[in-house]
């Protein structure tokens, strides 16, 4: 793919005697929202970490924005939000964001922008340690939005959020993609898949499918993604 | 490396401390209280004068070791280190940010303990009090740098705390405070020769008991500063951008 932001080829990761990723190949196009879906423990986080460049690889290559993943040129061009919020509990939301903005050399005005984008305006001066789980995960997401990352890698950003807020975040993701940002969003909730332009379905360290949601339903002849997922798992097992 | 990122890191750590006033008070006051306690335990200015200079270095060394190893371990386990490692920050920016913030604390901590010792507890300093301060701050920085380095080998805060007796106490026993170093057995005196705290304590003794700024003192200071720098560089090597 000529305009791919991420390209993964033959990626294998062994960890603790177990093969966590078993030969992943995929390409992610610029300006799209790609959903990475699969059950808990299937290797989603390891794949995301490999793309961000913090995961030691066993074999295979990961290229991001034309550079090998993890190279110096990429630092600051990728926004990454881990599943467990990586935050300073003894700082306020605004203090933490000001620090990360300084490290990223992002303008100071970015702090107010991202606080508004994740709807944390009322909590900007609250200590992160005193926030609820959902608020913490939004504060975590806010850090990833600082600067103008070309690629956003978000690991389960909507876990524990109320449906209204989830909807707002997905709308935000769509808006970012329309501006040319590429998003890779993982989730173990299949019903979020309909908000993605493309899907990567994953199970036990391998990709089951990489397709548009509608195309996936058509190809498997199933009424919803849950059924499509089951169909693909069974097809894989019988082969 | 970037001065603005180093300073931002320094500011961030000081802000974290500001939200934790209890830690700040403990850090600043404990060495002074211990010096006062020591003075009354001996109840004799001469005996106090013999041991006080060394402890003026050892107390901050120990405290700084403890607080830095726990704080940096927290940065590792909370995921914030990994997040920073995906950003345009040099490892040294982060470590120097820590060194500046805790160094600042060490200066205040040592200044307070030295001030009380000299003005109230009757500690006589043959050379200048400023020189004594400089040596004690260097000792605190050495403790800080060792704490940073050692935090790489601990997985939990529980383990980090237990590195304190492992790293600090043998140096305390062998530094020449309990028994002159040249009266120890050959093996022990060799070990003592390679432990940086021995030079730190030697320097503090020299500064208090002699007005002369001689070559041995320069050597002591160079060894302490060099060890702190080495521990910082080794600490930087333990910060990994990629992990399994």
CB contact under 8 A, B19 and A100: no
Instruction: Identify the pLDDT of residue A129.
Output: 94
Q: Which residues of B touch A68 (CB under 8 A)?
A: none
Segment B46-101, tens digit of pLDDT: 889 888 888 988 988 998 899 889 988 999 889 999 999 999 999 889 988 988 89
Complex confidence, ipTM: 0.89
The burial class, CB within 10 Å (0-12 / 13-18 / 19+), for A62 is buried
Residue A2 has pLDDT above 90, yes or no: no
SS3 track for A182-210:
EEEEEECCHHHHHHCCEEEEEECCEEEEE
Q: Is B175 helix (H, G, I), strand (E, B) or coil?
A: coil
Q: Does the beta carbon of A235 lie under 8 angstroms from any beta carbon of chain B?
A: no
Q: Does the beta carbon of A56 lie under 8 angstroms from any beta carbon of chain B?
A: yes
CB contact under 8 A, A54 and B15: no
Query: Alpha-carbon distance A115 to A135, whole Å?
Result: 11
DSSP letter (8 states) at residue A55? B
Query: Alpha-carbon distance B74 to A91, whole Å?
Result: 14
Radius of gyration, CA atoms only, chain A: 18
Segment A126-166, tens digit of pLDDT: 999 999 888 998 999 999 999 989 999 999 998 878 888 88
Q: Kindly state the tokens that stand for A183.
A: 């998003």
Average pLDDT, chain B: 89
Instruction: Identify the pLDDT of residue B223.
Output: 95
CB contact under 8 A, B86 and A104: no
CB contact under 8 A, A76 and B88: yes
Question: What is the nearest CA distance from A112 to chain B, expressed in angstroms?
Answer: 18
Query: Alpha-carbon distance B12 to B4, whole Å?
Result: 12
Residue A225 has pLDDT above 90, yes or no: no
Q: Does the beta carbon of A95 lie under 8 angstroms from any beta carbon of chain B?
A: yes
Q: How far is CA B160 from the centre of its chain?
A: 16
Please report the residues numbered 123 through 162 in chain A whose beta carbons come closer than 8 angstroms to any beta carbon of chain B. Answer: 127, 143
Segment B103-114, tens digit of pLDDT: 888 889 999 999
Q: Print burial letters for A203-214: b (CB count within 10 Å at least 16), e (below 16).
A: bbbbbbbbbebe
Q: Is A31 helix (H, G, I), strand (E, B) or coil?
A: coil
Instruction: Identify the pLDDT of residue A237.
Output: 66
Q: Which residue, B180, B60, B174, is CA-closest to B113?
A: B60
Q: Does the beta carbon of B4 lie under 8 angstroms from any beta carbon of chain A?
A: yes
Residue B29 binned pLDDT confidence (cut-offs 50, 70, 90): very high
Question: Cβ–Cβ contacts within 10 Å for residue B108, how many?
Answer: 13
Instruction: Identify the pLDDT of residue B62.
Output: 92
Residue B182 binned pLDDT confidence (cut-offs 50, 70, 90): confident
Rounded mean pLDDT, A91-113: 96
Q: Does the beta carbon of B184 lie under 8 angstroms from any beta carbon of chain A?
A: no
Question: What is the nearest CA distance from A218 to chain B, expressed in angstroms?
Answer: 39
CB contact under 8 A, B79 and A84: yes
- Virtual CA dihedral for A120, A37, A55, B97, nearest 10 degrees? 0
Q: Determine the residue among A90, A97, A127, A154 to mutate to test chain B binding: the one whose Cβ has the most chain B Cβ atoms within 10 Å.
A: A90
Q: Does the beta carbon of B242 lie under 8 angstroms from any beta carbon of chain A?
A: yes
Residue B195 has pLDDT above 60, yes or no: yes
Q: What Cα–Cα distance (Å) separates residue A197 from each residue in A30, A32, A36, A178?
A: 12, 6, 11, 12
> The pTM is what?
0.89
Domains of chain A (ranges plus CATH)? 1-72+186-239 (3.40.50.300)
CB contact under 8 A, B78 and A87: yes
> Which residues lie closer than 8 Å to A199 by C-beta, 6 or more apart?
A34, A35, A37, A193, A209, A210, A211, A212, A213, A216, A225
Count of CB pairs separated by less than 8 Å, A with B: 76
Average pLDDT, chain A: 91
Instruction: Identify the pLDDT of residue B60.
Output: 87
Residue B205 has pLDDT above 90, yes or no: no
Rounded mean pLDDT, A75-93: 93
Residue B9 has pLDDT above 90, yes or no: yes
Q: What Cα–Cα distance (Å) separates residue A46 from each residue in A57, B48, B155, B229?
A: 10, 59, 21, 35
Segment A165-179, tens digit of pLDDT: 888 889 999 999 999
């Amino acid at each position: 793919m000529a305009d791919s932001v991420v390209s993964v080829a033959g990626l294998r990761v062994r960890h603790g005697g177990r093969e966590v990723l078993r030969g992943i190949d995929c390409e992610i196009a610029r300006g799209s929202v790609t959903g990475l879906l699969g059950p808990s423990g299937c290797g989603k986080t390891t794949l995301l970490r490999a793309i961000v460049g913090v995961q030691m690889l066993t074999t295979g290559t990961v290229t991001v924005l034309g550079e090998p993943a993890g190279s110096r040129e990429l630092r600051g061009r990728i926004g990454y939000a881990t599943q467990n919020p990586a935050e300073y509990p003894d700082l306020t939301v605004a203090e933490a964001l000001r620090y990360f903005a300084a490290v990223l050399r992002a303008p100071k005005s970015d702090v107010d922008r991202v606080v508004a984008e994740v709807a944390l305006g009322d909590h900007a001066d609250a200590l992160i340690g005193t926030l609820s789980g959902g608020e913490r995960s939004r504060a975590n997401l806010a850090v990833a939005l600082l600067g103008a990352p070309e690629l956003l890698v978000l690991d389960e950003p909507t876990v524990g959020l109320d449906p209204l807020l989830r909807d707002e975040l997905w709308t935000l993701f769509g808006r970012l993609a329309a501006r040319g940002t590429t998003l890779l969003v993982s989730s173990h909730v299949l019903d979020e898949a309909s908000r993605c332009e493309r899907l990567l379905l994953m199970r036990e360290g391998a990709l089951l499918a990489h397709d548009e949601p509608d195309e996936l339903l058509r190809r498997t002849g199933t009424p919803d993604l849950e059924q499509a997922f089951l169909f693909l798992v069974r097809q894989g097992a019988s082969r | 490396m970037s001065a603005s990122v180093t300073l931002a890191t320094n500011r961030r750590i000081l802000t974290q401390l500001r939200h934790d006033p209890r830690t700040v008070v403990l850090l600043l006051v404990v060495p002074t209280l211990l010096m006062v306690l020591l003075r009354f335990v001996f109840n004799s200015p001469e005996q106090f004068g013999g041991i006080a200079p060394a402890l003026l270095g050892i107390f901050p060394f120990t405290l700084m070791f403890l607080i830095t190893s726990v704080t940096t371990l927290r940065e590792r386990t909370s995921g914030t280190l990994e997040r920073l490692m995906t950003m345009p920050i040099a490892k040294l920016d982060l470590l120097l940010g820590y060194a500046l913030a805790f160094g600042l604390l060490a200066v205040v901590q040592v200044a307070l303990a030295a001030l009380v010792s000299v003005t109230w507890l009757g500690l006589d300093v043959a050379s200048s009090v400023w020189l004594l301060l400089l040596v004690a701050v260097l000792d605190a920085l050495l403790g800080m740098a060792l704490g940073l380095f050692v935090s790489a080998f601990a997985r939990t805060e529980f383990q980090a705390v237990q590195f304190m007796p492992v790293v600090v106490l043998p140096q305390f026993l062998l530094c020449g405070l309990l028994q002159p170093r040249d009266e120890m057995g050959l093996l022990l005196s060799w070990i003592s020769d390679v432990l940086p705290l021995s030079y730190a304590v030697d320097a503090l003794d020299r500064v208090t008991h002699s007005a002369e700024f001689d070559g041995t003192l320069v050597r002591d200071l160079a060894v302490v500063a060099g060890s702190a720098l080495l521990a910082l560089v080794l600490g930087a090597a333990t910060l990994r951008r990629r992990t399994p």
